Amino acid sequence: MTTTDKQPSLPLPPASTTAPAEWRVMIADEGSSVKMDHGFGFGLARHAWLAISAKFSAIAAMLWRMGVEDPRKVVHGLKVGLALALVSLFYYLRPLYNGVGGAAMWAVMTVVVIFEYTVGGSLYKGLNRAAATLTGGGIAVGVHWIASKAGQAGELVILNGAVFILASAVTFSRFIPVIKRRFDYGATIFILTFSLVAVSGYRVDQLVSLAQQRLSTIAIGISICLMVCMLICPVWAGSDLNVLIIRNMDKLADSLEGCVEEYFSGKEAPKARGFKCVLNSKLSEDSLANLAAWEPAHGPFGFRHPWSQYLKVGAAMRSCAYCIEALHCSSHSEIQASELMKRHLSEVCMKLSSKSAQVLKELSVCIENMRSSESLSHMVKEMKEAVEEVKTAMKSLPTTYNNELGLQKDDDSMMMKKRQSFMESLPLMTVVSLLMEISVKVEGVEEEVQKLSGLAEFKPSGDKF
Amino acid sequence: MTTTDKQPSLPLPPASTTAPAEWRVMIADEGSSVKMDHGFGFGLARHAWLAISAKFSAIAAMLWRMGVEDPRKVVHGLKVGLALALVSLFYYLRPLYNGVGGAAMWAVMTVVVIFEYTVGGSLYKGLNRAAATLTGGGIAVGVHWIASKAGQAGELVILNGAVFILASAVTFSRFIPVIKRRFDYGATIFILTFSLVAVSGYRVDQLVSLAQQRLSTIAIGISICLMVCMLICPVWAGSDLNVLIIRNMDKLADSLEGCVEEYFSGKEAPKARGFKCVLNSKLSEDSLANLAAWEPAHGPFGFRHPWSQYLKVGAAMRSCAYCIEALHCSSHSEIQASELMKRHLSEVCMKLSSKSAQVLKELSVCIENMRSSESLSHMVKEMKEAVEEVKTAMKSLPTTYNNELGLQKDDDSMMMKKRQSFMESLPLMTVVSLLMEISVKVEGVEEEVQKLSGLAEFKPSGDKF
């Protein structure tokens, strides 16, 4: 009899329960297949070791998945490493060994703090840092000069008072939306530089030479950082925003079709939940548009590409997604419409949803190719026609329905049936009504994309259409 | 004839067009009432001056409004100023005048970078900075020691290699959601400290004493920062989250009642748009919950208060808000239901909406008082009864309606009318159906609040109920 058999009740450490299923199976397999005669302590240590290694493997697997899903994240890591190594090398080869407080420090610090995932992010921080260091340092030197005329005690009061007033005012100004959006980092750096220079006990002439030195190192840091960021596999916030909007538009189209199909066919549609991405992407859109505004022309996008219009397109899409969410809820209502009515409306509803989805898909193609589409207006017309068809079908519903039920005989049991049917028709009516509402929202998206097309000067549609 | 009369076409500078309307009026008034004989240059300068002063006054008015609306923002500015002045004073009185690179710098920098609006934010950054400086510095000293055994060229390779590898790995790890959420700032500081120490040309024994000095100054910075932040009018992220959820819940209740009232009475309800706040508050909720997790016990909230459950309450509320948004859209549809049908359903629908709103308001009171409510289950029951009443009214709708239309006579014009009516009933049906859907969502909110009540150990309802 082996030790493993003697302690069948020894539980696996809790950590292993968070490991993926395949790992737990592997641990269990190993535990039962190895039949060595070992003591209790060894068994415990072994269990702990297995648990830890399982945990680590799970983390490694997660990281691997992350890297495979978006290799740009791995590249970003390597780019930061490279930029830092370059800065370090720069200072090794040109020794400025005057300590951590020396000039090299500012270059290293600049690279670490400024290097962001997107080019827009790095430019935002770099330009903010440069401008804030210049202005903060300049004002501080001025205040220093005034304070130096005022004797020991006066100097203390003036400098400390200036730090207090400027820091308070600039911190408060960070609550102003436009400053928050564009210059938040700059405000911090302004306070930092101003306070540092004010607190330092240097004389003004020393300060000026120090400021020059500091500025040149920061400039080196910013240039290395921006070069690595922009030249090696750059990630453009603008392109990312463009892709996000296109992808969300496709998801919206798929999930609209999916939801309606699910409702009428009763089968699960794999892409029906796509609208949830659209509901949750406001934050990403806002921050990408914000950073994209700092980026120079890249790819098909000019310097003053109307990024803010993308936000309006996004908002129109979200407004559409709210209705799809409501449709999704109604279609999963507990009251189910009679098959008869469903069958009557199924065809026209499916047509409307597919026509609406077609418009959305065409819009996403327009944005992708930055080309306006001739067939778009035709598609919108078809969508509107589909709405009219749904209305016609709705109007003919009572007749068809009454005929089938044989309502010519107006007896009591028929009346009961009719009442029941009105209640039953409720979720179906809701789905139909929301579907029409969605087509209005799709027109709203179309309008915003048309505006974008005008602002961004989309090419006229080519021979392709 | 005055100069002002001669140049009636001189446009106001464009800046003034962005000034508020009352200012533009004032500029125009002044320009026409003052009838001095002055030259062209003076007039231009005067216009420019007026425009600039109008712009500045507009900004000042905006800042004043911001300050009056939330005086905590002003206080925050003053607190930052105070903390910085304290640190500066500390170093003036105990002169460490070895320059900007000296120890004082780290204290100033720590205060500027760590001081956040909420206590949770400051603690998050402070603890992250302390931990990251310790570990980053420690590892760097270790690597330095190894490298120092390897000769000039070996040292360069080892140190630069270590900077590259560690910076890459830690940067990549920042994409892991849990690290992004809790340790993003720490990761930056870790890379920063490690690189700084590695780049510096110090020998290991020098490094250790330098690290001690740097740690003590950072500790001074963190303590001053946290003391000012926590002792003078502290802003707790947890309390803010609590208030946000309560306020949103009230807004949701008001806008639900408002939308339904708007639809049935046709009058504009002032609070009907409140649900839009709920739609857009995900970002604030997430970040507040994130920061609240760092805060110690404060007010009625214990150390391990279940802040993440608030997010679930928020999500349930948002899911409710999506339906209200759809209801809002449908109620503004161009097809308007017949007054007859509306009148028939108006009473029951208003009742259902007010009962649902009542539940939401009771839930918000529960959260506010941290007390469970006895009357809540009764209110939910009433809401469910109201749903049944709506269903009954729906079932009796055809009879009432047909009777009033006189459908006993089944002639052609009647049939047309009936068809028309079915189409007309569509938006009304949608409103009714969404209203029932909303009551289901309100139950969802209630469930999440009950869970919160269990997790946060709400007091049982007192005599008040």
Q: Supply the DSSP symbol for A300.
A: T
pLDDT of amino acid B403: 52
Q: Rounded to 5 degrees, what angle do the CA atoms A320, A322, A323 make?
A: 70
Crossing angle, helix B71-93 and helix B204-231, to 10 degrees?
140
Residue B101 has pLDDT above 70, yes or no: no
User: Is the Cβ–Cβ distance between B140 and B194 less than 8 Å?
Assistant: yes
pLDDT tens per residue, range B122-173: 999 999 999 998 899 889 888 888 888 887 778 888 888 999 999 999 999 9
Report the pLDDT averaged over residues B183-206. Answer: 83
User: Is the Cβ–Cβ distance between B174 and B184 less than 8 Å?
Assistant: yes
Residue B2: inside a domain = no
Q: Tell me: do A252 and A209 sit in the same domain.
A: no
Q: Tell me: do A182 and A267 sit in the same domain.
A: no
Cα distance from A40 to chain B (closest Cα, Å)? 36
Q: Tell me: do A207 and A278 sit in the same domain.
A: no
pLDDT tens per residue, range B252-304: 999 999 999 888 888 888 888 888 889 889 989 999 999 999 999 888 888 88
CA distance A377 to B73: 50
| Secondary structure class of B39 (helix, strand, coil) | coil
Q: Tell me: do A392 and A278 sit in the same domain.
A: yes
Residue A96 has pLDDT above 50, yes or no: no
Contact at CB, A175 and B85, closer than 8 angstroms:
no
Residue A58: inside a domain = no
Q: Nearest-CA neighbor of A407 among B396, B338, B402, B391?
A: B402
Which structural domain, as residue segments, surrounds residue B309? 237-455
Q: Supply the DSSP symbol for B458.
A: P
Q: Tell me: do A162 and A250 sit in the same domain.
A: no
Residue B243: inside a domain = yes
List all residues 6 or more positions away from B358 whose beta carbon is below 8 Å from its beta carbon: B253, B379, B382, B383
Across the A:B interface, residue pairs with CB atoms under 8 Å apart total: 274
The domain that holds A436 is classified in CATH as 1.20.58.220
Q: What predicted TM-score, i.e. pTM, was given to this entire model?
A: 0.81
Nearest CA in chain A to B287: A283
Cα distance from A116 to chain B (closest Cα, Å)? 10
pLDDT tens per residue, range A224-268: 999 999 999 899 999 999 999 999 999 999 999 999 988 888 888
Structure tokens at B312: 């679930």
Q: How many domains does chain B have?
A: 2
Percentage of residues of chain B with pLDDT beyond 90: 37
pLDDT of amino acid A416: 56
> What mean pLDDT is reported for chain A?
81
pLDDT tens per residue, range B222-253: 999 999 999 998 999 999 999 999 999 999 99
Contact at CB, A84 and B391, closer than 8 angstroms:
no
- Chain A positions in Cβ-Cβ contact with residue B397 (cut-off 8 Å): 422
- Chain B positions in Cβ-Cβ contact with residue A118 (cut-off 8 Å): none
Residue B390 has pLDDT above 60, yes or no: yes
CA distance A125 to A133: 12
Residue B51: inside a domain = no
Contact at CB, A100 and B101, closer than 8 angstroms:
yes
Q: Tell me: do A388 and A446 sit in the same domain.
A: yes
Nearest CA in chain B to A81: B164
Q: Supply the DSSP symbol for A301.
A: B
pLDDT of amino acid B32: 40
Assign A15 a pLDDT band (cuts: 50, 70, 90). Answer: very low
User: Is the Cβ–Cβ distance between B237 and B327 less than 8 Å?
Assistant: no
Lowest mean pLDDT among A224-238, A307-321, B37-51, B187-201: B37-51
Q: Tell me: do A180 and A242 sit in the same domain.
A: no
pLDDT of amino acid B418: 55
Residue B62: inside a domain = no
Q: Tell me: do B83 and B150 sit in the same domain.
A: yes
More confident residue, B63 or B419: B63
Assign B307 a pLDDT band (cuts: 50, 70, 90). Answer: very high
Report the pLDDT averaged over residues A130-150. Answer: 88
Contact at CB, B80 and A395, closer than 8 angstroms:
no
Assign A414 a pLDDT band (cuts: 50, 70, 90). Answer: low
ipTM: 0.80
Integer angstrom CA distances of residue B6 from A105, B9, B14, B57: 63, 9, 21, 29
Assign A360 a pLDDT band (cuts: 50, 70, 90). Answer: very high
Residue B97: inside a domain = yes
Integer angstrom CA distances of residue A162 from A136, A199, B94, B107, B144: 12, 11, 20, 18, 41
CA distance B311 to B244: 11
Category of A325 on φ-ψ map: left (φ > 0), alpha (ψ -120 to 50) or beta: alpha
Contact at CB, A172 and B210, closer than 8 angstroms:
no
Q: Of B185, B200, B231, which residue is a domain's last?
A: B231
Structure tokens at B298: 């404060």
Cα distance from B8 to chain A (closest Cα, Å)? 35
Residue A319 has pLDDT above 80, yes or no: yes
Structure tokens at B53: 């002063």
Contact at CB, A89 and B160, closer than 8 angstroms:
yes
Residue A430: inside a domain = yes
Which helix H or strand E contains B318, and what residues bound it?
A: helix B307-331
List all residues 6 or more positions away from B33 whose beta carbon is below 8 Å from its beta carbon: none
Contact at CB, B101 and A104, closer than 8 angstroms:
no
List all residues 6 or more positions away from A287 whose beta carbon is below 8 Å from its beta carbon: none
Residue A97 has pLDDT above 90, yes or no: no
User: Is the Cβ–Cβ distance between B107 and B220 less than 8 Å?
Assistant: yes
> What mean pLDDT is reported for chain B?
81
User: Is the Cβ–Cβ distance between A310 and A289 less than 8 Å?
Assistant: yes
Percentage of residues of chain B with pLDDT beyond 70: 80
Contact at CB, B430 and A433, closer than 8 angstroms:
yes
- State CA A374 to chain mean position distance: 32
Other beta carbons within 10 angstroms of residue B337's beta carbon come to 22
Phi, psi of B67 (to 5 degrees): -65, -40
Across the interface, of B192, B279, B326, the residue whose CB is closest to A434 is B326
Top residue of B73, B89, B96, B164 to mutate, by most chain A CBs within 10 Å, is B164
Residue A349 has pLDDT above 80, yes or no: yes
Q: Tell me: do B384 and B267 sit in the same domain.
A: yes
CA distance B424 to B336: 6
Lowest mean pLDDT among A83-97, A223-237, A242-256, B410-424: B410-424
Phi, psi of B298 (to 5 degrees): -155, 145
Contact at CB, A397 and B171, closer than 8 angstroms:
no
- First-to-last alpha carbon distance for chain A, in angstroms, is 79
Cα distance from B34 to chain A (closest Cα, Å)? 36
Q: Tell me: do B227 and B245 sit in the same domain.
A: no
Structure tokens at A417: 């049936």
pLDDT of amino acid B208: 78
- Chain A positions in Cβ-Cβ contact with residue B73 (cut-off 8 Å): 172, 175
Q: Of B231, B249, B276, which residue is a domain's last?
A: B231
pLDDT tens per residue, range B341-362: 788 888 899 999 999 999 999 9
Q: Tell me: do B290 and B417 sit in the same domain.
A: yes
Other beta carbons within 10 angstroms of residue B246's beta carbon come to 16
Q: Of B205, B231, B257, which residue is a domain's last?
A: B231
Residue A53: inside a domain = no
Assign A445 a pLDDT band (cuts: 50, 70, 90). Answer: very high
- State CA A307 to chain mean position distance: 15
Q: Tell me: do B210 and B270 sit in the same domain.
A: no
Q: Nearest-CA neighbor of B91 among B105, B101, B78?
A: B105
